[in-house]
Structure 1
Amino acid sequence: MPDLLIELLSEEIPARMQARAAADLKARVTDGLVEAGLTYASAGAFATPRRLTLSVEGLLAASPAQVEERKGPKTDAPEKAVEGFLRSTGLSKDQLEVRDDKKGQVYFAVIRKPGRPAAEIVAEVLERVVRGFPWPKSMRWGAGELRWVRPLHSILCLLSDDAGAEVVPLEIDGICAGAVTRGHRFMAPAAFSVTGFDDYTAKLKRAFVVLSAEERAEHIWNDATNRAFALGLEVVEDRALLAEVAGLVEWPVVLMGEIGEQFLSLPPEVLQTSMREHQKFFSVRDPKTGRIVRFVTVANRETADDGATILAGNRKVLSARLSDARFFWENDLRVANADIGQWLAKLDSVTFHNRLGSQGERIARIAALAREIAPLVGADADMAEQAARLAKADLSSEMVYEFPELQGLMGRYYIEAAGFPAEVAAAAQEHYSPLGPSDDVPTAPVSVAVALADKIDTLTGFWAIDEKPTGSRDPFALRRAALGVIRLVLENQVRVELNGSSGPFASSAALVGPRDANGGESTADTNELLAFLHDRLKVYLRDQNIPHDVIDACLAMPGNDDITLLVKRAEALAVFLKTDDGENLLQGFKRANNILTQAETQDGVEYSFGADVKFAENEAERALFAALDAADAKIRPAMEREDFAAAMAAMAELRAPIDAFFEAVQVNADSQVLRRNRLNLLSRIRTTCLGVADLTRLEG
């Protein structure tokens, strides 16, 4: 069984495209081979800045021969029908077989497809893959028609086994496949031939090319951290940058340089962002001070001066970049110290959304809402309002204009520099959080108030103008905002009726005011918004292993806009239903509810009161009356203090009396007095159980 080696050598492939391109090459080639009848044992794909490589092991030497039988028309069918059948099979009439069938004699075509050698199939598949490769962006060059991400220089395509290696005959736009490749562009540019994958990787490494992106990344990280450790420093972890840099070099050479003394006073986040975005440098931190003091760059070649010239050039370019950053920082500080309010005034003329007003108008809404929310989260109302008014001031700063990803963080620095309380400054950075399911949630009361106000304003505002998520479309990240509200409320144990008449949704909707596309009146439908929040909550709780029917059973209860209360109830119910008592009580409840519902439908009345123990005929019936009285005495106070676990424990005590009742008593007795009394008793069971959660919504 031969092995297949393919290499497509080109000009530099953008780092962001390499991993996807390697995966596409593997999937498209192997799928094509399998479709043509060539199975294989394993396959691996690799990418460097200049090459895509695919190794396929254990390939069949040829596709198996195939025999296909097709039933045709009857032998006395019109000649045109027979001719059409012949065209579809590629056979002549004398090659058809005549066989007996239920309806007489019919023609059969026996089509024999001989096996094809692997080389022929590989050439056919690879040409199709190369010509139709799904690059995000591609180009043509020269006189050819081939499109590739960058000019394609050579194709290596080998089938090898114990007997030797064979070049697959293939030509694409004048590029003939061969057994030759090249190493590093500068350190080993000469061509060399290979005989298989092991020979290929070994010779590439001798030619200063590390084929595996994972190996390049590991080398960069290990060398960088070792160099930093030797100086008592640490490299700031940045996995995305590491993956990108590993895609920029074929032979990574790690170099560490110093940052000019004049730039060390810049905030570490500014240094890190500037170096990462502009230079693709890693930041090196002093763990004692938290300051960024050095940088790590990765060269693509070794030099006689051990990278001194490269570092000198990098420091020169970095110095120019950091000079800009220092100018922004110092200028912004002057503005913040003089009057940070001038940044807020600029936001009055910055559009947030053409139907929701300016950033200044939005800030005013958030400030008013934060003031209302503050008492609910234990924050000072004046401070929460002040924090909300200042939280987005840095959007007017030069630093955030240059580095938008620093919004909030720079606000914290500037607000602190302007002399405002630390809680107000912290809210500027923290009110954007959480941005995702793994992001930290603010816990400082002022930050929580502003963060909730910010997200609720976003939700009610876009609801008011009917810009709601549909399918996968969510251009204003409203699902993220809803999840943010949920996590802020739950993780801070905030007790608030979001959709109450004076709750945050209603207050925010009133602040947004009437909005529609034509300037007419419309309002944010807060009930629909709450339903959207509940949908997000279901997704969140399913990740916490709470079943969807348990969530539905709790959503059906009063107070379902109090997310903390709702989740507390759902968690208790989920735990309860995992016990034997919970499962059995649920079955007893459903039996009682089914009998009662059928009787009410049949009789056209509601059996909801009047059960009297004096009509009980046996001990099991009297015991159920007593058990319901005892359960009510425990459940009601437990529910008042929101102790759902205690309420459900009391409810579990009904299991045995309910089971005994159904064993000993016929509900639909001949006596109408007894029947009515027993149905009213079942109504007590239903009322007692439904007081904890809507058990009718539970499956099973």
Structure 2
Amino acid sequence: MRTDNLLIEIGTEELPPKSLANLALAFRDNIKTGFSDNELIFSHVIWYASPRRIAVLVEGLSEYQADKHVEKRGPAIATAFDQNGEPTKAAQGWARSNGIDVDQAERLKTDKGEWLLFKAQVKGQSITQLLPELVEKALKALPIPKPMRWGSKSTQFIRPIHTVTMLYGSDLIHGKVLDVNSARLINGHRFHCDAPFELDCADNYLSQLKRHFVIADHEHRKSIILEQVRALAKQENAIADVNEELLEEVTSLVEWPVALVANFEESFLAVPKEALIYTMKDDQKYFPLLDENGQLRSRFIFITNIESKDPQTIISGNEKVIRPRLADAEFFFNTDKKQTLASRLESLKTILFQKQLGTVYEKSERIASMAKSIAVMLGADQDASHRAGLLCKTDLMTNMVMEFPDVQGVMGMHYARVDGETELVALAQNEQYMPRFAGDNLPTSDVSICVALADKIDTLVGIFGIGQTPKGDKDPFALRRASIGVLRIIVEKSLPLDLNDLVDASIATFGDKIRSENLQTKVVDFVLARFKAWYAEQGISTGVVQAVAVNRPTRPADFAARVEAVKSFNTLESAESLAAANKRVANILAKNVFKEELSFNKELLKEPAEIALAISVESVEARIQPMLDKSDYTNALIVLAELRQPIDEFFENVMVMADDESVKRNRLTLLSRLRGLFLCCADISVLN
């Protein structure tokens, strides 16, 4: 059977840059699924994408499906024929569905009865027959939130489709996909090519497009851009400010990338660099240049989509475009400095945080009060924490932040310095939002920590307090992100804070605005539940986290210490045996619950194995208590692991459910003490 490479390209108008790669990846995955579902054999599927196309190359594709031997059992003979031996409607319908008459069916005899049987050798279909429908199905399944129609057609797609090309080796596969006939025509670069070209073979796709000024391999195009940017930055004796999101977007905007350097007036550098960088990166898709100290330079790199004979014209054009944007930032900064952050507090009363929870002004007052309470817990500067919390949302009312929302916080820091606020207060204006995303930096000062925690806890308590908890993937107030932020700050900074105390302090600031039963429990449980996802990203098993969660330690730093201890314990040779023993103990105790508290009596110990276990338990209890006092759970579990042998011997030689009631109760009490020993760290039975 012939195998060859298959190219499928969908040529379109310019596709949305922020979703280009995801569309192409989804197209590849849908094609793989479609081919696999149709039992087409292939070795690999590669995706390509540029602004005006998505494509896949299916390597080592068989031309035909494999032939199949089909057997379909029909109705039982008893129901397939009536009393006169004539086929029933059930038999006739079954035969018709298989394209035969009833008398052409074979018989299947087993010890359980006899049935009609259809046997056939079904020849596999060719990709020529299957491909158009498979491709159309793959395109219709793409994640397109708002499909569009064009011209007089009823067909819908994310952008108008101009060409469809399906080449198996050098053979064109005919057919329609979304009302467009498959052809060899491929569009090259919009400006460097006057007309489409004919593709002779699937294997020549990349090379032919390159001759027509298109780098179709998205990842290769990205690497070219990064290489060019770094090379130009080196020439400028500077460092290019490149982040993955911007690099990805720029890659999706061009087909033939050419990096150039431009500049702007140095006078603009008097404006805080964050505002200038924001407008360069987010509005213009430029790469700012920084010096070795991280300070912004008055030059930047941009990527153009054409190879111009007169690059200076393109450079001048981009300099003209950026100048008004930077001038706006300069104007906003100079205007904002005329008014202090403190003077903007009253204007926060005009912004609603949430209908039931009041204005941003009220939220600021709560944050200030809460930040001061946390400062007491941590021994931080109470006055600075209160002041920083009170001012933390005032920069929302500045012209700069209204125009460039992403610089909130950082502009508050700059304006606080201009106003003469202390450095701790100024720094907290920016660090209150940390961590903003996974892997982001944490607040650096105690005052910043107090404000950051106060802000996040306030949002959690407030939203839970009015019953608007996250459901499914809907989380409009980003409560999951806030919870992860709280955990990261407390754990990574090793803070002695208890979530119960934090939530109680926050609840007290709301007055009668919130009413929810068991509010403290709901919020704390929600925050603790984030540990599962956080540790999953670190490769720590759910069982380890769940073993700790059973105890519900509400001090995040303590929770983390227990997780590390259980993770270490789980690698010990005795871990599996001890987990199984703990599970056995838990099951026994669950079935034997006594209303009154049982007391342990050494005099009732009879068997050598139970005496040995009792001695070991008593010894371990004394040894691990100092460790538990210092939250040294790792060494405590190592000591507990020494109980493996006496536990195994106990269960092998001792009957817990003795006939003598007092002996039975005494043995259950011993097991309860044993269970309590392990539970002081985590529920090890969960690991089993």
Q: So what's the TM-score if we normalise by structure 2?
A: 0.88
Q: Is the 8 A contact 1:216 1:246 kept in 2?
A: yes
- The equivalent residue for 2:560 is 567
Residue segments in structure 2 that go unaligned for 5+ positions in a row = none
Q: 1:146 aligns with which of 151, 155, 178?
A: 155
1:518-566 per-position Cα deviation (integer Å, ceiling 9, x unaligned): xxx5466102222222222344345556655555555555x93222234
- The equivalent residue for 1:61 is 63
- The equivalent residue for 2:371 is 370
| Partner amino acid, structure 2, of 1:692 | C
- The equivalent residue for 1:248 is 253
| Partner amino acid, structure 1, of 2:413 | R
**CA separation of 1:22 and 1:595: change in aligned 2, threshold 3 A:** closer
Q: Is the 8 A contact 1:585 1:655 kept in 2?
A: yes
Q: 2:93 aligns with which of 84, 89, 104?
A: 84
Q: Which moved more, 1:348-357 or 1:273-282?
A: 273-282
Q: Which moved more, 1:294-303 or 1:684-693?
A: 684-693
| Partner amino acid, structure 1, of 2:677 | C
Alignment partners' CA distance in 2, 1:622 and 1:132: 68
Q: Is the 8 A contact 1:459 1:478 kept in 2?
A: yes
**CA separation of 1:206 and 1:366: change in aligned 2, threshold 3 A:** same
- The equivalent residue for 1:17 is 19
CA drift of 1:289 comes to 5.7
Alignment partners' CA distance in 1, 2:145 and 2:614: 73
Q: Is the 8 A contact 1:433 1:442 kept in 2?
A: yes
**CA separation of 1:457 and 1:35: change in aligned 2, threshold 3 A:** closer
- The equivalent residue for 1:535 is 529
Matches of residues 178-577 of structure 1 in structure 2 within 5 Å?
178-288=183-293, 290-305=295-310, 307-336=311-340, 340-499=341-500, 503-515=501-513, 522=516, 525-543=519-537, 551=545, 554-555=548-549, 560-576=553-569
CA drift of 1:332 comes to 1.2
CA drift of 1:590 comes to 6.8
**CA separation of 1:575 and 1:118: change in aligned 2, threshold 3 A:** closer
Q: Percent identity?
A: 33
CA drift of 1:396 comes to 0.7
Instruction: Tell me how many residue pairs correspond in the alignment.
Output: 678
Q: Which moved more, 1:440-449 or 1:657-666?
A: 657-666
- The equivalent residue for 2:602 is 611
| Partner amino acid, structure 2, of 1:335 | Q
CA drift of 1:569 comes to 3.9
Q: Is the 8 A contact 1:138 1:148 kept in 2?
A: yes
Alignment partners' CA distance in 2, 1:397 and 1:173: 50
Q: 1:48 aligns with which of 35, 47, 50?
A: 50
Alignment partners' CA distance in 1, 2:607 and 2:518: 58
**CA separation of 1:245 and 1:636: change in aligned 2, threshold 3 A:** closer
**CA separation of 1:610 and 1:242: change in aligned 2, threshold 3 A:** same
- The equivalent residue for 1:686 is 674
CA drift of 1:135 comes to 3.6
Alignment partners' CA distance in 2, 1:634 and 1:315: 72
Alignment partners' CA distance in 1, 2:479 and 2:567: 29
Q: Which moved more, 1:275-284 or 1:423-432?
A: 275-284
**CA separation of 1:553 and 1:45: change in aligned 2, threshold 3 A:** closer
State which structure, 1 or 2, has the greater radius of gyration over its C-alpha atoms.
1
**CA separation of 1:690 and 1:421: change in aligned 2, threshold 3 A:** same
1:333-365 per-position Cα deviation (integer Å, ceiling 9, x unaligned): 2223xxx22221111121000011000001101
Alignment partners' CA distance in 1, 2:538 and 2:6: 46
| Partner amino acid, structure 2, of 1:639 | L
Q: So what's the TM-score if we normalise by structure 1?
A: 0.86
**CA separation of 1:322 and 1:681: change in aligned 2, threshold 3 A:** closer
CA drift of 1:628 comes to 5.3
1:7-48 per-position Cα deviation (integer Å, ceiling 9, x unaligned): 222322222232233234334444444444532233222111
Alignment partners' CA distance in 2, 1:605 and 1:335: 70
Alignment partners' CA distance in 2, 1:107 and 1:660: 62
| Partner amino acid, structure 2, of 1:15 | P
Residue segments in structure 1 that go unaligned for 5+ positions in a row = none
Q: Is the 8 A contact 1:286 1:293 kept in 2?
A: no
| Partner amino acid, structure 1, of 2:333 | W
Q: Is the 8 A contact 1:596 1:682 kept in 2?
A: no
Q: Is the 8 A contact 2:24 2:54 kept in 1?
A: yes
| Partner amino acid, structure 1, of 2:13 | E
Alignment partners' CA distance in 2, 1:120 and 1:596: 66
**CA separation of 1:312 and 1:88: change in aligned 2, threshold 3 A:** same
Alignment partners' CA distance in 2, 1:266 and 1:426: 18
CA drift of 1:420 comes to 0.8
Alignment partners' CA distance in 2, 1:366 and 1:245: 39
CA drift of 1:225 comes to 1.2
1:80-131 per-position Cα deviation (integer Å, ceiling 9, x unaligned): 445433442334567x245475799976555564444432333443455567
1:219-278 per-position Cα deviation (integer Å, ceiling 9, x unaligned): 111112111101211111121111111111111111110112231222221111101222
**CA separation of 1:412 and 1:157: change in aligned 2, threshold 3 A:** same
Alignment partners' CA distance in 2, 1:251 and 1:523: 61
RMSD across aligned C-alpha pairs, in angstroms?
3.5
